[in-house]
Structure 1
Amino acid sequence: MSTTEFTGRVRKEIDEALFSWIDEQRPGLLAITDDLAPMMTALDALLAGGKRLRPAFCYWGWRAAGGPDGPAIMSAAASLELLQASALIHDDVMDASDTRRGQPAVHRRFEMMHRAEGWPGVAESFGAGAAILLGDLCLAWSGLQYENSGLDDATLQRGRGVYDLMRTEVMCGQYLDLLEQARGRNTVESALRVVEYKSAKYTIQRPLHLGAAMAGADQAFIDVLGAYGLPLGIAFQLRDDVLGVFGDPAETGKPAGDDLREGKRTVLVALALEHATPAQTAVIDDRLGDRELDAEGVTALRTIITDTGALTECEKMIEQYADAARATLAAAPISGEPREALTELTVAATARRG
C-alpha cells in the first residue's frame, strides 16, 4: 500500500469513527424532542466537509511514538473534529460569515429556518443563538468522544493535559483575533501571535503532542514533534490566509475575497500595510472589513497586496516555515509509515490550491 493509499485509509477510518459516534448520540438527542432535529441536520452538513488534519496529526503522533493501530485511537483522534466544528461554528458567528465549506454557515442556516417558519422576532438573533449552542454541544461532545474512545484510563490520562491546553489556547487565540480586528491596525508580529495560538498550535502541534503523549512518549520526543509541528502550523495558516484573498471559491468553499469583507487582520494584510504608500493605506483602511465589498473592491485590495510585495513576502515566509518543519522532520527519530505520512501531510498542509 502506498503512502497516499495509507493516509486515505486513515482518513476513511477517522470519518467512520466520527460519524459512528455522532449516530450513537442522535437517538438520545431526538428522544428529548424532534425539535432538535435541525441541530443534527446542521451538524451533519458541517461535518460532511473538512480535511481532517487535526485527527490525522494526532493519529500519526501516536503512531510515531509507537502506539498501535486500532479503532480506539481513531475514535480519540476523531474527537478533535468535533472540537474543530465547535471552533468553526463560533468563529463564523463572530465574523458574521455567510458560508462555510461551500454551504451556508450554521448561523445562516438557522436564520433561514426562522424566516421560512415565519416566526416572530429577529431571525439573525435566533440564528446566532442556535449556532452558539450547537458549537457548545460540539465542544462537550468532543470531550465525551475522547473519554469514551475505548482507550484505557492510563492512556487517556496521559493525553488530558494536552487536550485541555489545546482547548484553552484556541479560545485565547480566537480572542486575540477579535482584539486585532477591534483595534483596526496590526503588525506582522501581532498577526503571527494570532496565527500561533488560534491555528498553528491547535491544528498541528498540539494534535501531534496529544497523540504522542497518549502513546507514552518522553518529553524529548514530544519536543521534537513540537519543533516540527509549530512552523508547519504557521505555514499552513499563512497559506490559508493567502487563499482567503486569492483562492478559488470552488476550492476554499467561500466567496472570493471573503477574508477582506470580514476585515481579517492577517499577516498578509499587516505586510501590505507595512509597505503601503499613504494612498494605498487609505484604500485598505476604507475597504477592508466592508461587508458590501464588491468584485471591484476585492480587485483593488488584491492589487495593493500584490504591488506592495506583501504576497511575495508571505509566500517566502510560507516556504521558510515549511523548510524549518521539513528539516526538523528529516532529523527526527521517526521511521516507516509515520515518517512517510508526516512527509505527505507536510506537503498537503502548505500546498497552493485555488
Structure 2
Amino acid sequence: MQQALRPHPEAPIDDAVAAHVERALTDYLVTRHADMAEAAPSFGTAVASLAGFVLGGGKRLRPTFAWWGWRGAGGAGAGVDARAVLRGVSALELIQACALVHDDLMDASAMRRGKPTVHMDFAARHREAGWLGEPDRFGAATAILLGDLALAWADDMFATSGLDAGRLAAALPPWQAMRAEMLAGQYLDVLTQARGDESEATALSVARMKTAAYTVERPLHLGAALAGAPAPTVAALRAFGADIGLAFQLRDDLLGMYGDTEVTGKPAGDDLREGKRTLLMALGMAMAGDRAAVLRAALGADDLSPTTLADVRGILVEVGAVAEVERRIDALTATALAALDRADLAGPADRVLAELAVAAGRRTS
C-alpha cells in the first residue's frame, strides 16, 4: 500500500485536516489488511487493492466538513479527545469508497482518478491469469464485495475511534441516516435512468439524496452531534450543508460534461454515456425545443462520438442550460452562507466553512 502524507503527530489538526485524515486511514487500513492477509492471504491481495483505492486520491471533504462542524459547534472545549474525533470522522472516507466502487460498477465506468475502476482492474487480473469463468463477472463480484467491506469497515473504524459511548450514541442518528440516504440516492439514480425521467424536480431530488446529504449535510450534522450542539445550530449547519452539497453536485455535472479529463480523472462525457439525467440535461431538454432530440439520443449512447458530444455541449451552452446551472450554483452558495451566519459558530470554523463553500462551487476537479 502506498504511504500517506504523514504530518507530525503533534501538529495541529486544524492546520492540515486532510493530511491527518490520510494518516488515520493509513494506520487503520494497514492494521486491517495485515489481519486479513494473515487469515486469508488471497483475500489480502484484494484488500490491498481496496486500501490503495481509498488512499489513492480524494479531497477528504466529508471528514473535513465533519471536523469543522465539530469545531464550530464548540467541540474543542467539551473535553473530548480531538484525535478520537479525527479518527471517527475519517471513517467517512470508507463510506465514500463504498459509494464510488459500487457506483462505478453500476455505471460501467472504466476510469476513476485516472486509473481503471475496481471492477475493470479485477476483470483484467482474471484475464491475465487465465482463470475459469467470465472475467467481467469476476470483476463485478469483487467490486461488490470490496465495496461492502469498505462500508463494514467504516462502521468498525467509527465505533473503535476512541469516542466514549455517549458521543457515539449522539452521533448514531446522523450516521445511520447518512448511510441509508446514500444508498437511497444510488437507487433513485438508477431508477431515474430506467424510467427516462427528464424532470427537473427528479434531477434535483437525486442530486440532494445521492450527493448533497452524505457529502456535506450529514458530515456537518455528525460533527455537530459529536460536539453536543443545540438544535438551532444543527438545523443551520444542515441547511448550509444541503445547499453547498447541491452546489457541489451541480458543479460536478458541469465538470462531467466540460471538464478536463487530465484534471478530473474521468473521460469527458461519461455522465452522458451513462444516461445520467442531471439537472444540466433536464434543463437542456426543456429549453432546447426541436434540438432536444439530439440531447435525448445522446443520453446513454455507448457509441457516443466526439462529434455528438461536441454537439450536445454546444446546445447546452446555446440554449442557456449551462448559464442556468451556474446561476443556481451561485444562488445556492448565497443561501448556504446565510444559513452559516445563523449557526453562530466558533472561530475559525465560520471562516473555514465559508471558504469551503465557495470552493465547492468553483472547483475544477
Cα deviation per residue 1:174-208 (whole Å; 9 max; x = unaligned)? 11111111112321111000011111111100000
Contact 1:169–1:202 (CA<8 Å) still a contact in 2? Answer: yes
Assess, with a 3 A threshold, how the Cα gap between structure 1 residues 7 and 99 changes in structure 2: closer, same or farther: farther
Cα deviation per residue 1:281-322 (whole Å; 9 max; x = unaligned)? 221222211122121121111112112211010100110001
Contact 2:174–2:222 (CA<8 Å) still a contact in 1? Answer: yes
Cα deviation per residue 1:14-63 (whole Å; 9 max; x = unaligned)? 11111111111111111122211332232133222001111111111111
Match of 1:123 in 2: 135
Q: Distance in 2 between matches of 1:6 and 1:244?
A: 32
The DSSP-based 3-state class of the residue aligned with 2:133 is coil
Contact 2:21–2:86 (CA<8 Å) still a contact in 1? Answer: yes
Q: Distance in 2 between matches of 1:28 and 1:352?
A: 38
The DSSP-based 3-state class of the residue aligned with 2:268 is coil
Cα deviation per residue 1:214-234 (whole Å; 9 max; x = unaligned)? 111121110011111111111
Contact 1:17–1:71 (CA<8 Å) still a contact in 2? Answer: no
The percent identity for this pair of structures is 44
Q: TM-score, normalised by structure 2?
A: 0.93
Match of 2:29 in 1: 22
Q: Given the alignment, which residue of 57, 60, 63 partners 1:52?
A: 60
**Paired letter, 2:68:** W
Contact 2:211–2:245 (CA<8 Å) still a contact in 1? Answer: yes
The DSSP-based 3-state class of the residue aligned with 2:91 is helix
Q: Given the alignment, which residue of 57, 64, 72 partners 2:72?
A: 64
Q: Given the alignment, which residue of 228, 232, 242 partners 2:240?
A: 228
Q: Distance in 1 between matches of 2:84 and 2:269?
A: 40
The alignment status of 1:342 with 2:336, answered yes or no, reads no
Once the 2 structures are TM-superposed, how far is the Cα of residue 84 of structure 1 from its aligned partner?
A: 0.4
**Paired letter, 1:24:** T
Match of 2:50 in 1: 43
Q: Distance in 1 between matches of 2:331 and 2:187?
A: 27
The DSSP-based 3-state class of the residue aligned with 2:348 is helix
> Which consecutive residues of structure 2, in runs of 5 or more, have no partner in the other structure?
1-11
The alignment status of 1:94 with 2:101, answered yes or no, reads no
> Which consecutive residues of structure 1, in runs of 5 or more, have no partner in the other structure?
none
Q: Given the alignment, which residue of 82, 92, 101 partners 1:80?
A: 92
Q: Distance in 2 between matches of 1:292 and 1:34?
A: 40
**Paired letter, 2:341:** A
Once the 2 structures are TM-superposed, how far is the Cα of residue 170 of structure 1 from its aligned partner?
A: 0.9
**Paired letter, 2:74:** G
Match of 1:288 in 2: 299
Q: Distance in 2 between matches of 1:11 and 1:352?
A: 17
Match of 2:40 in 1: 33
Once the 2 structures are TM-superposed, how far is the Cα of residue 6 of structure 1 from its aligned partner?
A: 6.9
Q: Distance in 1 between matches of 2:343 and 2:204?
A: 26
Q: Given the alignment, which residue of 306, 319, 332 partners 2:317?
A: 306
Q: Distance in 1 between matches of 2:345 and 2:327?
A: 28
Q: Distance in 1 between matches of 2:346 and 2:295?
A: 48
**Paired letter, 1:230:** A
Assess, with a 3 A threshold, how the Cα gap between structure 1 residues 95 and 8 changes in structure 2: closer, same or farther: farther
Q: Distance in 1 between matches of 2:303 and 2:27?
A: 41
Contact 1:262–1:288 (CA<8 Å) still a contact in 2? Answer: yes
The within-5 A match list for 1:1-354 is 9-47=16-54, 48-68=56-76, 70-278=82-290, 280-353=291-364
Contact 1:196–1:233 (CA<8 Å) still a contact in 2? Answer: yes
Contact 1:46–1:101 (CA<8 Å) still a contact in 2? Answer: no
The DSSP-based 3-state class of the residue aligned with 2:75 is coil
**Paired letter, 1:99:** M
Q: Distance in 1 between matches of 2:342 and 2:193?
A: 39
Contact 2:272–2:299 (CA<8 Å) still a contact in 1? Answer: yes
Range moving further from structure 2, 115-124 or 66-75: 66-75
Once the 2 structures are TM-superposed, how far is the Cα of residue 11 of structure 1 from its aligned partner?
A: 0.9
Contact 1:232–1:325 (CA<8 Å) still a contact in 2? Answer: yes
Contact 2:115–2:265 (CA<8 Å) still a contact in 1? Answer: yes
Paired residues in the alignment total 349
Range moving further from structure 2, 240-249 or 44-53: 44-53
Once the 2 structures are TM-superposed, how far is the Cα of residue 7 of structure 1 from its aligned partner?
A: 5.4
Cα deviation per residue 1:67-108 (whole Å; 9 max; x = unaligned)? 126211111010000000001111111100111111111100
Contact 1:42–1:109 (CA<8 Å) still a contact in 2? Answer: no
The DSSP-based 3-state class of the residue aligned with 1:186 is coil
